[in-house]
A = this chain, B = another copy of it.
Amino acid sequence: MNELEIVERLRRLCLPSKDLVLGIGDDCAIYRPRAGEELLFTTDQMIEGVHFTRAQKAADIGERALARSLSDIAAMGGEPRFCLVALAASDTKWIEEFYRGLLRLAKRTTTTLAGGDLARDQKYHCDVMVCGSVPRGKALRRDGARVGDSIFVSGRLGKPWDRRIEPRLELGLGLRGLATSCIDLSDGLSLDLHRVCMASGVAAEIDRVPVMKGSKVERALHGGEDYELLFTLPDGKKAPRGVTRVGRIVRGVPGTMTFEGRPLEPRGYDHFRKQS
């Protein structure tokens, strides 16, 4: 199978979309914005030997690659519109399986595969860009947390790194116009909460964390790859079902955090931490 044949097969697998004037098969995809929408853009890499191995199922890797970017869209309160997939790989069966997994989640979340880039290489690598949509001015950001807000997280934290990701798109939608800030937990609660605090110029106190069965508090605080949402609500606002209040935003040196009264350092995953 050559590139043209792979692309032809993908084209047939893709969902139609009324916004996408032109999908796979030209130099660019063409998207026609809807009235009053703002567009969200995020991109995430999955690298063999860093984020996955070939011992894992290719379909799971494809699904995860899309899920990680969709989690960013969820964290901004967006609805997914389309994705572009850049893939370096060599085995066509693997590539087919990768796309099968990716397209399964794409279909479930109405994310159109609009295009991408395919290269042949022995080291596998993918990068998934997702475009999402929010009504003008309604995106959830990191910089809106205010003193007195309660801090919540969805789900339970401290997941094993290869657990299936369920992007919290519905929760993100429900938080529009309600949450003052939101972020997805991709690098660990301590590091991601620190980012919210720095962007918002506030401090935070954490009282408790919902720990996944079989995991530990330490991992729930600092482990990455949870892909749950952390968000803040003003006092008196009713939280959506199924989320846990973990603490509150307080006055203080921006970025200062405590857990059960003791200092909490941002120690989540930073690709470049060790190279300072």
Interface residue ranges, A against B (CB under 8 Å): 1-6, 21-22, 25-33, 37-45, 47, 49-51, 72-73, 75-76, 78, 82, 84, 86, 88, 90, 92, 114-121, 123, 125, 127, 129, 131-132, 134, 136, 139, 141-143, 183-184, 199, 270-273, 275-276
Tell whether, in the assembled complex, residue A121 and residue B47 are in contact, meaning their CB atoms are under 8 Å apart: yes
Given A28-B73, A139-B30; A271-B120 close (CB under 8 Å): yes
The answer to whether B22 touches A139 (Cβ under 8 A) is: yes
The chain B residue with its CB closest to the CB of A275 is B92
* A38, A75, A183: most-surrounded residue (chain B CB, <10 A): A38
Contact A33 B30 (CB under 8 A): no
Q: How far is the CB of A203 from chain B (nearest CB, A)?
A: 18
**Given contacts A1-B276, A118-B271, A31 and B26 within 8 Å (CB-CB):** no
Contact check, A119 vs B73: say whether CB atoms are below 8 A apart: no
Q: How many of these chains are in the complex?
A: 2
Considering only CB atoms, which chain B residue lies closest to A172 in the complex?
Answer: B27
4 A-B pairs closest in CB distance: A33-B33, A28-B40, A120-B271, A27-B72
Q: Report Cα–Cα, A75/B143, bound state, in Å.
A: 38
Contact B136 A32 (CB under 8 A): yes
Of B2, B47, B116, which contacts A273 at CB under 8 A?
B2
The answer on a CB contact under 8 Å between B29 and A41 is yes
A21 contact set on B, CB distance < 8 A:
38, 139
- Can you identify 10 A-B contacts, CB atoms within 8 angstroms? A2-B276, A5-B272, A25-B142, A25-B199, A26-B143, A28-B73, A30-B139, A44-B86, A45-B88, A51-B119
A193 nearest CB across to chain B (Å): 14
A191: nearest residue on chain B (CB-CB)? B4
A77 to B26, CA, bound (A): 13
**Chain B minimum-CB-distance residue to A41:** B29
Q: How far is the CB of A137 from chain B (nearest CB, A)?
A: 8
**Bound Cα distance from A120 to B6, whole angstroms:** 30
Taken together as a complex, chains A and B put the C-alpha atoms of A9 and B100 apart, in Å, by 38
Q: Are B123 and A123 in contact (CB under 8 A)?
A: yes
Q: Find out whether the CB atom of A271 lies under 8 angstroms from the CB atom of B28.
A: no
A40-B30 contact, Cβ under 8 Å, with A45-B86, A270-B4, A271-B3 = yes
Q: Closest CB-CB distance, A156 to chain B, in whole Å?
A: 21
B119 touching A28 by the CB < 8 A rule?
no
Closest partner residue, chain B, to A181 (CB atom): B26
Cα–Cα distance between A37 and B117 once the two chains are bound (Å):
24
